[in-house]
């Protein structure tokens, strides 16, 4: 699909993101205090920057694993049908697990992924999303931790793409079509 021309307006600065991640890390450490091992599961690809910054703030014994669910493709609309494109490498039965997502939008992805992972009987399963667009929810889902609630805007940067572009922006910006 051809992309319409757009500009990006900054919505959340790199500094604000870093400060929020520090605060979230302290809450996660408190929740998982004493864990033998926390498996931090990043949802590819949008969470790769967030998980990289988050795990470096966590003073806990962790492992990192990744899972890829089907995405928007090149559109700004969710496909609603969630498929697992790449599963975890490791087993999570009886493990402490933290799922790291970039954005909860309609809720389909996290609803599907958390139901799937819960069926593998982890000891504790918690979720964190950098961004939440509650206005767009179609399936009920609330992450245990949320970085920022944002309005119904299409955003890019800090790992998040529009048709694979703009993941490398250090801040979160909103796409404005021109």
Which stretches does DSSP call E strand in the chain? Answer: 6-12, 38-44, 62-69, 84-86, 96-104, 124-132, 145-149, 155-156, 172-177
Could you tell me if 131 and 103 are in contact, meaning their C-beta atoms sit under 8 angstroms apart?
A: yes
CA distance 35 to 17: 26
What whole-number distance in Å separates Cα of residue 123 and Cα of residue 97? 8
> From CA 60, how far away is CA 25, in angstroms rounded?
10
What is the DSSP pairing of strand 172-177 with strand 62-69? unpaired
Q: Name the one range near ligand IMP by CB under 6 A: 3-11, 27-35, 71-79, 113-121.
A: 71-79
Interface pattern 147-176 for ligand IMP (x via CB under 6 A): -------xx----x----------------
H helix or E strand, kind and range, residue 29:
helix 14-31
Regarding 146 and contact with ligand IMP (CB under 6 A), the answer is no
Residue 105 designated active-site: yes
| For ligand IMP, the closer CB: 32 or 141 | 141
**C-alpha to C-alpha distance for 84 and 168, rounded to whole angstroms:** 25
Strand 124-132 versus strand 155-156 pairing type: unpaired
Residues from 32 through 61 that contact ligand IMP (CB under 6 A): 46
Q: Which is nearer to ligand IMP, 35 or 148 (CB)?
A: 148
- In whole angstroms, the minimum distance from the beta carbon of 5 to ligand IMP comes to 17
Could you tell me the smallest distance in angstroms from the CB atom of residue 15 to ligand IMP? 21
Residue among 55 and 130 whose Cβ is closer to Mg ion: 130
Residues in contact with Mg ion, shown as a per-residue x/- string from 17 to 46 under the rule CB under 5 A: -----------------------------x
Smallest separation, CB 160 to Mg ion (Å) = 8
Instruction: Choose among Mg ion, ligand IMP, none what residue 160 binds, the Cβ cut-off being 5 to 8 Å by kind.
Output: ligand IMP
Q: Using CB under 5 A, list all residues that contact Mg ion.
A: 46
Active site residues: 105
């Amino acid at each position: 699909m051809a992309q319409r021309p757009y500009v990006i307006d900054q919505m959340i600065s790199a500094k604000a993101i870093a400060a929020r991640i520090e605060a979230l890390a302290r809450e996660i450490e408190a929740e998982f205090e004493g864990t033998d091992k926390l498996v931090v599961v990043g949802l590819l690809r949008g969470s790769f920057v967030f998980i990289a910054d988050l795990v470096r703030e966590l003073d806990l014994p962790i492992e990192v694993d990744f899972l890829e669910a089907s995405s928007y493709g090149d559109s700004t609309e969710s496909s609603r049908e969630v498929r697992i494109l790449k599963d975890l490498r490791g087993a999570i039965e009886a493990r402490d697990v933290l799922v790291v997502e970039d954005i909860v939008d309609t809720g389909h992805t996290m609803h599907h992924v958390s139901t799937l992972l819960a069926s593998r009987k982890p000891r504790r399963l918690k979720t964190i999303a950098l961004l939440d667009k509650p206005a767009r929810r179609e399936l009920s889902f609330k992450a245990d931790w949320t970085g920022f609630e944002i309005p119904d805007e299409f955003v890019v940067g800090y790992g998040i793409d529009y048709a694979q572009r703009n993941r490398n922006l250090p801040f979160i910006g909103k796409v404005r079509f021109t």
